[in-house]
Amino acid sequence: MRGGTSRGPFFKSTDLPADRPTRDRVLLAVMGSPDKRQIDGLGGAHPLTSKVGIVSNSSTPGVDLDFLFAQLQPDKDTVDTTPNCGNMLAAVVPFALETGLVSPAGDTTTLRVLTLNTDMQCDITVMTPKGQVEYEGTSRIDGAPGTSAPITINFLDTAGSVAPGLLPTGNARDLIDGIAVTCIDNGMPLVIFKATDVGRTGYESVDLLNADTELKTRIERLRIACGHAMKLGDVTSKNYPKMTLIASPREGGSICTRSFIPHVCHEAIGVLAAVTVATACVLDGSVTQGVASVPPGNVKKVSVEHPTGEFSVEIEVDAANPQNVTRAALLRTARLLMRGEVMVPASVWAGKSTLSEAPQQQHLKVGKR
């Protein structure tokens, strides 16, 4: 499924091995990792197309679905279930409806989803006229071609999703490794800093930044130092924190960004990274001050510019305490691309037979050969 500006296979949790080591070997085989082209699997040779969604009915009171996100890398043998992915999150409810995990509820269906990675809940609304998921529509998101039906995501509590709190260092601004940064986690751990502080404009193309070895080396050194400051430990082999260069907006938005995820420059920006950047824009004392252009009021639309367009986030702050962000909402789209079986080499199973027997009518299964 395409979820937002990401893509990857979705599975019912019962169709995957119950033990994590076998499950991870299966997912690596499914995606064709490690191989930079992922030629022997379904991966798209890019971190944004090397993602997996695992969905199940929830046993948590008041929650409809559990979602486990897995980030794989084309050229690595890692399966990271620590961070969130707001883009793939957009495809969870459509997948659950398509596979019969849940039933539609009128012309629109709203379900509460728990992201197991970070214990984060959100309400997701999908168009379901005549009891079918509607994918076609007039909503547009930058980074995905054409238009689609809208999917609304209302995040309920995203502060400190991985790091210990919204501002894990205790400050809205820190000086780390000689650079002024805001270390923040409102759905995704981010390190935000001015592009000019690393000798760049913040308006460079993705290709130029990905070819900038000197910059990437400098950013990685900063990332590792910030990881310790954010109480995340040694992040050398982790996919977070993401690194976000900022500059003044120049396309009518609130702030301009270039996001590293964490070693490749994103062609757009991740959903939860955009939420976290938007949050930083409304916090007094963050590095966005003097850079961002933010509207007044308790409910603010923050437009985050990125290399292929913009991402609008609606941020609501507490009137009594403007430093307290009470709500973040946004619009995404998704599409069912295919359904079927993916074949996994017998050697991957290491002599185990832990795959659940799946009914023949199931739309997306792991095939064992």
Query: pLDDT digits over 173-205, tens only?
Result: 999 999 999 999 999 999 999 999 999 999 999
| pLDDT one-digit tens code per residue, 324-365 | 888 899 999 999 999 999 999 999 986 444 444 433 333 346
| pLDDT one-digit tens code per residue, 207-257 | 999 999 999 999 999 999 999 999 999 999 999 999 999 999 999 999 999
Tokens of 174: 């820190």
DSSP 8-state secondary structure symbol assigned to residue 168: T
Tokens of 16: 């995957």
Which amino acid, residue 150?
P
Please classify residue 69 by burial: count the beta carbons closer than 10 Å to its beta carbon, then call 0-12 exposed, 13-18 middle and 19+ buried: buried
pLDDT surpassing 60 at residue 49:
yes
How far apart (Å, rounded) are the C-alpha atoms in residues 111 and 92?
10
How far apart (Å, rounded) are the C-alpha atoms in residues 210 and 355?
40
Query: In the predicted model, what is the mean pLDDT of the chain?
Result: 93
pLDDT of residue 163: 95
How many Cβ atoms are within 10 Å of 76's Cβ, its own excluded?
17
Residue 68's Cβ-side half-sphere holds a number of Cα atoms within 13 Å equal to 18
Q: What percent of the chain has pLDDT over 70?
A: 95
How far apart (Å, rounded) are the C-alpha atoms in residues 98 and 73?
27
- Among the ranges given (147-156, 193-202, 285-294, 317-326), the one the predictor scored with the smallest mean pLDDT: 317-326
How far apart (Å, rounded) are the C-alpha atoms in residues 166 and 169?
9
How far apart (Å, rounded) are the C-alpha atoms in residues 190 and 241?
5
Strand, coil or helix: 30: helix
Q: Give the CA distances from residue 132 to residues 28, 103, 109, 339, 365, in Å, rounded to whole numbers and listed in that order.
A: 32, 10, 10, 16, 21
pLDDT of residue 361: 31
Task: State which H helix or E strand residue 155 sits in.
Answer: strand 151-155
pLDDT of residue 41: 97
Taking alpha carbons only, the member of 175, 146, 205 closest to residue 335 is 146
pLDDT of residue 362: 32
Tokens of 200: 């760049």
**Residue 344 — φ and ψ, nearest 5°?**
-115, 130
**Residue 311 — φ and ψ, nearest 5°?**
-135, 115
Contacting residues for 120 by C-beta, under 8 A, at least 6 apart: 84, 114, 155, 156, 157, 158, 161, 187
How far apart (Å, rounded) are the C-alpha atoms in residues 328 and 122?
10
Query: Contact, 99 vs 53, CB < 8 A?
Result: no
Q: What mean pLDDT is predicted for residues 99-120?
A: 96
Q: What mean pLDDT is predicted for residues 80-88?
A: 93
**Residue 200 — φ and ψ, nearest 5°?**
-125, 170
Write down the H helix ranges in the chain.
20-31, 86-89, 92-98, 206-210, 213-229, 271-281
How far apart (Å, rounded) are the C-alpha atoms in residues 345 and 306?
40
pLDDT of residue 322: 82
Between 34 and 320, residue with greater pLDDT: 34
How far apart (Å, rounded) are the C-alpha atoms in residues 96 and 109?
11
How far apart (Å, rounded) are the C-alpha atoms in residues 137 and 124?
17
Full set of structural domains in the chain with CATH: 2-134+339-368 (3.10.310.10), 174-332 (3.10.310.10)
pLDDT of residue 355: 42
Which amino acid, residue 155?
F
Angle made by CA atoms 109, 113, 115, in degrees to the nearest 5: 155
pLDDT of residue 342: 96
Contacting residues for 296 by C-beta, under 8 A, at least 6 apart: none
Q: What percent of the chain has pLDDT over 90?
A: 86
